[in-house]
Structure 1
Amino acid sequence: MARSKTILWIVLVAQFMVVLDSTIVTVALPSIGSGLNFDSQLQLQWVINAYILLFGGFLLFGGRAGDLLGRQRLLVIGLLLFGVSSAVNGFAQNPETLIFGRAVQGLGGALISPAVLSIIIVTFGGVRERAKALGVFSAVTASGSAAGMLAGGVLTEWFDWRAIFLVNLPIAALAIFAALRFIPNSKHATEGRTRMDLPGAVTITAGLMLLVYGVVNAAEWGWGSGKVWLLLGAAAALIVVFLVIESVSKQPLVRLGIFKVRALTSANVAMVLMTGGMFVMMFFPTLYLAQVKGYSPIEVGLAYLPWPVAMAVAGTVAQKIIAKAGPKPALWIGLLILAAGLFHLSLLDADSSYAGGVLPGMLLTAIGAGFAWAAMFLVASVGVRPEESGLASGLINTSQQLGSAIGLATLSSVAAAYTLDLLDSGVEANEALVRGFDRGFMIGGIILLVSTAVVIAGIRSSDGRHVAGPDQEAGSEQVPVINLEPALGD
């Protein structure tokens, strides 16, 4: 038991670092933009999107790699990539270097995250012990998000934005040493010779990157530009190639037949829409508070603290609702609250106060996210064969990351284009910027309403009410495992 606890805390240190890094970057974005002379808001968002795209694109690949290489080895490789890329980011001298480093960080995170969860599952075999371990995992994730908001402000204001990346180096080094010393390199006992689907991972990641790149640049080039449609066409071709690869591969990254499970498919569509609409919460308010209201980095960090706290509290309440009524009510109620929060934020103007303008919308979106996340991951596992539970988990996590990236790219593009139109018509700079944000928030809220409709139409009230784990004995107490990790770049 003592060794199990040691292993748990080692992987939790790795998880804390990944979550800390995602939110720590959010608060430092304005300082990064000015420090490296980013050309525009559209270019700056790639600091987030480069991470998310590689993380989401290689998340399923990372889970498969653990079967071949072993979970400890996968964790160590991910930590090495994360640590080295953090050093590259900390010493970057131009936007291109930083964006490249963030992409490599995303790849590292895509190896670390499935390794952490796999190690916890194989280390704690009993239902109760595993539930407790995953409960600690969720608590560390939530605390890492909150700590990142505050640490990002403190490090940026007291030192420099580079410190937010360099702080990862000692954490990664400690985690690597401890993993090599205490964690066995276990592999999947029944997989035999597992082949990694590298062509599938590369084609889907490249296709989605081209898709987002085309959407991002559409604001500057125009939607009628040949370059935009060339990028979108290439993205579509790569996605088709991915589907062909998966259909003929003996060991595909994604078995396409799994999408015949109605609840799983509905949950993944709803997740893409949910994160696509809500992820502007990690971008627009930061720029609003820093550029329009003149907040310092530490003030931005403190302003964001209610978000992860409210989300964690709402997630606890949602668990009780799910236990009594199943996940569907918590899910659609949460999505509606999320939409209400974004609609409230769409009313911001340059003179709005934090208490009256930003905070109510922030709390509503946090409460809605807490309700929806607690239910979404549970529904995504309904009707899935036990041997494909890992694939189902990977799919919903991938939908989370990709929805975030594509949604942020699209809504940032729309906001920037509207702001440019207003500036050309003579509107004052701050007012034009805020009205661009408002349009992004409004469209995000509409997307959340569409996600709600998908949940209501595609998920039955009975889905997820009685979900037993694959190792759960008949008659034993049911302890559903629910991932409460937010979509913050990882």
Structure 2
Amino acid sequence: MQTQARATHPSGSITQQPSAPSVRPGAVLAVLASAQFVVLLSTSIVNVALPQIRDGVGLSDSGTTWVVNAYGLAFGALLLAGGSLSDLLGRRRVLLGGLGLFTGASVAAGLATTSEVLIAARAAQGVGAAAIAPAALALVLGVFPSGPGRGRVLGVWGIVTGAGGAAGVLLGGVLAEVAGWSWIFHACALGAALVLAGTAAVVPALRRPGTAARRFDHLGTAAVTLGLTALVWALTLARDEGWSSPQVLVPLALAALLLAAFVPIERRQKHPLVPPRLFTAGQVTTGNILMALLGSVWIALFFFLPLYQQHVLGTGPLATGLAQLPLAAANMVGSLLAPGLARRFGPVRTLTAALLVEAGGMGWLSRISTDSSYESAVLGPSIAIGLGLSVAFVQLTSLAVTGVRPVDAGLAGGLVNTTRQIGGAVGLAALSTLAASVTAASPGHHTHLQALTAGYRSAFEVSALILLVATALVPVLARRSGTSRRRR
């Protein structure tokens, strides 16, 4: 396969001219997968080091959560806009811009001496990540056509995506204990800078088919971005303020209004941000609904598990990080096996089995107690969860992008990342509120550690139930989607 140099036709459309160097698929995949890894790494790398970060910049206990939330809010709210811009402006160009912003923001976070600068830098990291994730996935889809080869590529994508959360906890623990919290952000900056250089060197500027006549949907983008921002903002405040607080109810109402207005706005747009045809391609709807449910327990897992290990089991940041290695290894194995399992047993059966395995692991994890050990209560569930999570992620990503027109590849990538991220924000807020409520309502004769553990147990129990609901929905949604395509 050869790279194509873009030329502008007199009519304004984009054509391609062959250029000399050949695309090196392996190198391209390595660079793009590394971009995805950096994005996911930054989601969880701060979790273990939050106490050190709080003391370093003078954050309050409630303000500490914004070190996590500022990144997630900007990332989740802007993913659709990032995907659309990558389709319109060029995936490579948007990826390079996102990596540049992410690198600068990471350096600023590492140098921050005040809470305001740190939180602003984390939000800027999220903006960069919202450009990186959909552009990188769209480039992968452009370089690797549909077929068994793409299945293997998505397996690699699953490895780096699933392992990013576990690796973030590991690396965050190591750096916090050995070098100090600021090096968490400097490491992110170094990783993004290396990916930026790799992108400039080996990733081709693929043509953008069918985009010449398209225009950016400013009104639709504003409605969905502000709506998602209000939603994530409300959900991140819910744990501390309570669901009945005006600080939560007002942004929730605003989010409902804006997201409801998004539908009629899109119907009136000649070039909508989310074209209706996207939901008639393949099983995009099925993939995104199930990805939202998977995301709702995914991000919460990497929030609650380190808390249990540090607060109840008494492990330090480094030991907590090292304890994630079995989960990361299981994730790698599952992602490698996923394409072969789907070819042998079919995607529906494979996805159903993966979700059941992950649900079983969550149920097993819900048996933790104050007297448990890592070996007896965490190790086995971590392996089961890692296997199920990775296989499910690969299958759902494939469902969400297969059959999508090349012109919509960036948007499809942004959409599936958005559903996972927003699902994660909803899940984390709801499960955190649940855990805090259970802890507060624990009997008076319980110790503080017993009350904390009861809250963590409830979060893992509900996570298992969510995964069982997702499992039951798999055949229903797949059958309904298949029926709709046959009718068309």
Could you tell me how far apart the structure 1 residues matched to 2:475 and 2:33 are?
Answer: 36
Check conservation: 1:146, 1:308, Cα contact below 8 A: yes
Q: How does 1:80-95 map to 2 (within 5 A)?
A: 80-95=100-115
Give yes or no for the alignment of 1:447 onto 2:466: yes
Distance 1:437 1:93, change over 3 A: farther
Check conservation: 1:69, 1:187, Cα contact below 8 A: no
1:242-277 deviations in Å (ceiling 9; x for gaps):
223222222222124544569432332222122213
Distance 1:326 1:435, change over 3 A: same
1:213-267 deviations in Å (ceiling 9; x for gaps):
3334334444333443222111111212222322222222212454456943233
**1:326 is matched with which residue: 308, 330, 346?**
346
SS in 1 for 2:362: helix
Structure 1-normalised TM-score?
0.83
Partner of residue 253, structure 1 = 273
Partner of residue 49, structure 2 = 28
Corresponding letter in the other structure for 1:279: I
Distance 1:440 1:39, change over 3 A: farther
Could you tell me how far apart the structure 1 residues matched to 2:176 and 2:318 are?
Answer: 8
Alpha-carbon offset, residue 437 of structure 1: 1.2
Partner of residue 67, structure 2 = 47
SS in 2 for 1:422: coil
Structure 2-normalised TM-score?
0.83
SS in 1 for 2:185: helix
Alpha-carbon offset, residue 112 of structure 1: 1.5
Give yes or no for the alignment of 1:163 onto 2:190: no
Give yes or no for the alignment of 1:396 onto 2:430: no
Alpha-carbon offset, residue 105 of structure 1: 1.0
Give yes or no for the alignment of 1:457 onto 2:465: no
Check conservation: 1:214, 1:229, Cα contact below 8 A: yes
- Greater alpha carbon shift after TM alignment, 385-394 vs 197-206: 385-394
Alpha-carbon offset, residue 327 of structure 1: 0.9
Partner of residue 11, structure 2 = none
Give yes or no for the alignment of 1:266 onto 2:269: no
Alpha-carbon offset, residue 347 of structure 1: 1.9
Check conservation: 1:278, 1:448, Cα contact below 8 A: no
Give yes or no for the alignment of 1:188 onto 2:208: yes
Distance 1:362 1:202, change over 3 A: farther
Check conservation: 1:262, 1:459, Cα contact below 8 A: no
Unaligned runs of 5+ residues in structure 2 are 3-20, 484-488
Partner of residue 376, structure 2 = 356
Partner of residue 35, structure 2 = 14
Could you tell me how far apart the structure 2 residues matched to 1:135 and 1:4 are?
Answer: 21
Partner of residue 98, structure 1 = 118
Corresponding letter in the other structure for 1:27: V
Alpha-carbon offset, residue 48 of structure 1: 3.1
- Same amino acid, percent of matched pairs: 38
Alpha-carbon offset, residue 334 of structure 1: 1.6
Alpha-carbon offset, residue 141 of structure 1: 4.9
Unaligned runs of 5+ residues in structure 1 are 465-490
1:277-334 deviations in Å (ceiling 9; x for gaps):
3432110111111122221211111101111211221233332221022111111222
Alpha-carbon offset, residue 108 of structure 1: 0.5
1:68-108 deviations in Å (ceiling 9; x for gaps):
33333212210121012112221333444433322221110
SS in 2 for 1:351: coil
- Greater alpha carbon shift after TM alignment, 261-270 vs 335-344: 261-270
Partner of residue 477, structure 1 = none
Partner of residue 23, structure 2 = 4
SS in 1 for 2:286: helix
Partner of residue 305, structure 2 = 285
Partner of residue 411, structure 1 = 431
Partner of residue 192, structure 2 = 172
RMSD (Å), alpha carbons: 3.2
Could you tell me how far apart the structure 2 residues matched to 1:179 and 1:262 are?
Answer: 30
Give yes or no for the alignment of 1:199 onto 2:216: no
Distance 1:269 1:131, change over 3 A: closer
1:96-147 deviations in Å (ceiling 9; x for gaps):
4433322221110121223323444445679687677666655555665564
